[in-house]
Amino acid sequence: MAFSIAISGKGGTGKTTISALMVRCLIGKSPQAVLAVDADPNACLGLALGIEPGRTVSDIRDEVLNQKTAPGAGINRLDQFEYGAHQVLTEAEGFDLLTMGRPEGPGCYCSANNIIRKFMDELSGTYGYVVNDNEAGMEHLSRRTTNNVDVLAIVAEPTVVGIKTARRIIQLTDALPINVKEIGIIWNKTDTPPAVNGVDVLGCVPVDEAVFRASMKGTTVFDLPDDNSALLAIQNIVEHKVAPAAKRGINAKREPIVIDPPSGGGGFARNGYTKK
């Protein structure tokens, strides 16, 4: 099974750029390719990686659900979905891209979500690393992608809103049936992390004009020079946080984080504290 990294955060924090940088830094870290999963309905990960998004997993999902197959046709929905989903998997040098697409519409999608989850679990077994670029909420992870995350990286800016958003994502994570083994924050657009207690800091990514210019010009993370400061920051996170976690191969479920409501500027608190 691949080592799974889920990247979440409030819109506009640079989550997708950091996801793309993470993919670049992980290429070559294992004999297998990296699987990049764009699980944000506002799909932009492919563009940051130099791939124009095409058909999505949700397109295949809807086609399979709407298809009227005659009894005894000899192919079930799982086979239909797997065949279609493999067609939307885009291969590139060192990584593949899978774009999840729009969320479900009205109606029951329980069976479809089970099919997608089974497919994703089987697919991830052929990769060394999986990087999930998620929307801010974590609900879709339990519905569509996987129930197991090795590292949840929350991208946040060092502001009051950024800290509150990170706190909310952690609360959502503990409320969902997802096995998250390690969790930490990537503080973006700063060299110094704010004082937030009880949660691991994966690292800081400084403000980088080259990354901003690349975004404005529509160039990719692979066009950034090797000495780019944001790229070096992500490389440091990969080498000192992600790689050691992958080697540890932690199987036990993470103990839930207990959040002590701030009395002034408070922060996170782990075991040994209780909610007031």
Domains observed in the chain: 3-248 (3.40.50.300)
The predicted structure's pLDDT at residue 58: 83
CB count in 10 Å sphere of residue 71: 4
Return the bridge partners of 258, or none: 269
Residues 6+ apart with CB under 8 A from 141: 6, 39, 132, 134, 147, 149, 176, 178
The predicted structure's pLDDT at residue 215: 84
The predicted structure's pLDDT at residue 86: 83
The predicted structure's pLDDT at residue 250: 47
Give the ranges where 125-252 is alpha helix by DSSP (H).
139-140, 160-175, 209-217, 229-237, 243-248
Return d(Cα 37, Cα 51) in angstroms, integer. Answer: 12
Return d(Cα 250, Cα 181) in angstroms, integer. Answer: 7
User: Six-digit token pair at 64?
Assistant: 């399979």
User: Six-digit token pair at 206?
Assistant: 């400084």
Dihedrals phi, psi of 186, to nearest 5 degrees: -105, 110
The rounded average pLDDT for each run of 10 residues, N- to C-terminus, in the chain (276 residues) is 89 92 96 92 90 84 71 64 84 92 59 71 88 75 69 93 86 80 94 84 95 89 96 97 81 44 35 26
The predicted structure's pLDDT at residue 249: 64
The predicted structure's pLDDT at residue 276: 27
The predicted structure's pLDDT at residue 77: 72
